[in-house]
Chains A and B, each alone.
Chain A
């Protein structure tokens, strides 16, 4: 077992009286694809929002073990004045959304350029006077954007509006955009939702490539079990906000508790 990149320790998330996640523990191993599955309403997206810094977990902590030490996600987002969910991204966690959130009225390249705001020269004066430093940074950013567009087979759509792309390409664009933030961990919220079988196959290939070539760790929420079983190295199953199973795909697939949760039958009947 390699070192974990992300550690979720005893996380409980409450919204008023509703407990969305109760005492969740799991690890995301570096360089592996980890899947988070569970029936609807199991608290997967809530967990995701905690990990990516959109929610502050009510209890417990989420630790990211990066090259530059360990960072507590909850601590980042509650930091006074400068704190916020954007710090989770800057720490190296990128994400996509269940319902696609692109900048619809901006071009595809611009979507990717926004994601690279950490690498471009953001100084107002250098941009207005178009200094050499600014031009070089901008050129590199555009090239990087095209690199990712080519990886995602979107290069032909580079100068179209993001909102006019077909659904499947919007999904891929969202992944490309997340990759442009140079993340260590990418969290994909139902990336295969609404894709046809061919597109799903392509997506699984893309994910494998990202993992293999770009030293990337992937955390994915997915309902397509075929895809999950095919790509993931490690599966965590949530039900009613709690982890009911955690292990390799084979282990999880044969776990009576998981079958019970998905099929709604009692454990005796499964035997």
Chain B
């Protein structure tokens, strides 16, 4: 076989190239160790690392020429159209969803406080991802300032309790509306813009909100932030002793005090809200409104030719996305117990956008998975905390090469005519059957 004869020189060349490139990359970083004003030479170290990288590369190349490796690379490169239409005969995923739901509900009873904290954070990012997915994934409007709505939700609870005496529950109900209102205020003047211009305007809006929060000392507390009251349930508090004039919940239920109850509560409410939002978003995809969003993403001119009011349709997408972001903000605030503007930087917007893009634009399952991965992964890799952003970058590049359409393939629902209409499908007597070939 010809390929086998050429294999060894090819591998050798590849190994040499890999070794040189990795030496150039690794050499200055781990080969020279700073010591005060001078540095120590540890080039052996660097050469060893480069050798390991080369060995890895060789193993990978060797595996890739075997039939097994070819199959794997085939699977990886099969990004194809990325979209498939369901056949309508798929097995229902309801049992799996039920199991996941129950597992989610049971989580606080098995997880420790640290893990529960991560789970809450992951769910908050799920919520943010789902919200941004409506705007970017479904309606195709690139929004780089999504964190603004997150901030609106968080500050609503913080400042609302400070000035108006709002509690967790009232904030939870008001936040979607207020964030939606902000979304509308932002979107109305800018929706005539397309693509890049819209992205720039939203980026500016995100920064405006952050700067206002940072500089309006008298109202928002500026960089010092604002405290957030702990949550209550039917007036019962989760603190050891009642501070807000109610009774602590452990006294009401006659159980011993546990500081984790507050997190249990937040987690459970958040989990239910996330489930409700997932359900709503899934419904939206087969609803006229969701379809119009996607049609608008596909072709705005065609949409107008079909009588779709593109401005209002975009506006609704923006508002619903913003509402979801606002909800996430409330949970963030109540979980942290404190908000300040540093939580709402552009980096957050980029992270949420990364979640949506990694998950696959428009795919709900993908967004949820990506949100879980991107929040849990950094926690697992705490030792590499400094390289977190670097890992994100690598992940994004790799994804764009192998899975440009995201982790999860987008599927489209199938539609079938109703049984009553099937035999005689034409309301008008078909006198022109001869046309059919």
A-side residues, CB < 8 A to B, are 52, 54, 82, 84-87, 89-90, 94-95, 97, 101-107, 109-111, 113-115, 117-118, 120-122, 124, 127-128, 130, 138-139, 142-143, 145-147, 150-151, 153, 155, 158-161, 163-164, 177-178, 180-181, 202, 205-206, 209, 213-214
Contact = CB atoms under 8 A, between A and B. Distances in A.
A15 to B, nearest CB: 18
Given A105-B298, A113-B291, A213 B309 contact: no
A43 to B, nearest CB: 19
B283 interface: yes
B415 A209 contact: no
B416 A142 contact: yes
Given A102-B302, A113-B288, A143-B425, A86 B310 contact: yes
Query: Chain A CB within 10 Å — which of B306, B416, B428 has the most?
Result: B306
Q: Which of B87, B88, B298, B435 has the most CB of A within 10 A?
A: B298
20 contacts: A54-B301, A86-B307, A97-B305, A103-B294, A105-B83, A105-B294, A105-B298, A110-B413, A114-B303, A114-B306, A118-B307, A121-B288, A124-B320, A127-B289, A138-B288, A142-B415, A146-B425, A147-B426, A161-B84, A213-B428
Interface in B65-99: 81, 83-88
B319 to A, nearest CB: 10
Contacts of B309: 82, 84, 86
Contact of A85 (B283, B305, B437): B305
A206 B435 contact: yes
Given A114-B291, A114-B292, A161-B85, A86 B417 contact: no
B304 interface: yes
A117 B307 contact: yes
B284 interface: yes
Contacts of A178: 305-306
A164 B81 contact: yes
A213 B432 contact: yes
A91 to B, nearest CB: 9
A143 B283 contact: no
Contacts of A124: 287, 289, 320
A107 B302 contact: no
A95 B85 CA distance: 27
A163 B302 CA distance: 14
B243 interface: no
B280 interface: yes
Contacts of B425: 143, 146-147, 150, 155
B106 interface: no
Nearest to B427: A147
Given A139-B418, A205-B435, A101 B307 contact: no
A97 B302 contact: yes
Residue from A145, A147, A155 having most chain B Cβ neighbours under 10 A: A147
A214 B427 CA distance: 11
Interface in B257-315: 279-280, 283-284, 287-289, 291-292, 294-295, 298-299, 301-311
A142 B288 contact: no
B88 A159 contact: yes
Interface in B372-428: 410, 412-418, 421, 425-428
A97 B303 CA distance: 12
Contacts, number: 165
Contacts of A143: 417-418, 421, 425
B287 A127 contact: yes
Interface in B128-157: none
B295 A103 contact: yes
Contact of B305 (A89, A104, A110, A120): A89
A89 B301 CA distance: 12
B434 to A, nearest CB: 9
Given A86-B307, A117-B292, A146-B421, 13 more contacts: A94-B305, A101-B302, A105-B294, A107-B85, A114-B295, A115-B307, A118-B307, A122-B287, A138-B288, A139-B418, A147-B426, A159-B88, A180-B306
A112 to B, nearest CB: 9
Nearest to B431: A213
A16 to B, nearest CB: 21
Contacts of B421: 143, 146-147
Nearest to B429: A213
Contact of B412 (A155, A161, A213): A161
B436 interface: yes
B311 A84 contact: yes
Contact of B432 (A106, A109, A209): A209
Given A102-B302, A114-B295, A127-B288, A161 B83 contact: yes
B437 A117 contact: no
Given A113-B415, A139-B418, A164-B81, A128 B280 contact: yes
A153 B437 contact: yes
B270 to A, nearest CB: 20
Given A89-B305, A107-B414, A122-B289, A153 B280 contact: no
B318 to A, nearest CB: 14
Contact of A202 (B301, B426, B431, B435): B435
B414 A159 contact: yes
B85 A117 contact: no
Given A101-B301, A109-B415, A127-B284, A114 B308 contact: yes
A259 to B, nearest CB: 34
A128 B277 CA distance: 10
A117 B306 contact: yes
A107 B88 CA distance: 13
A251 B418 CA distance: 49
Given A86-B304, A158-B415, A106 B435 contact: no
Nearest to B313: A117
Contacts of B427: 147
B291 A106 contact: yes
Contact of A145 (B280, B284, B415): B415
B306 A115 contact: yes
B305 A52 contact: yes
A106 B306 contact: no
B299 A103 contact: yes
A110 B307 contact: no
A89 B284 contact: no
B87 A127 contact: no
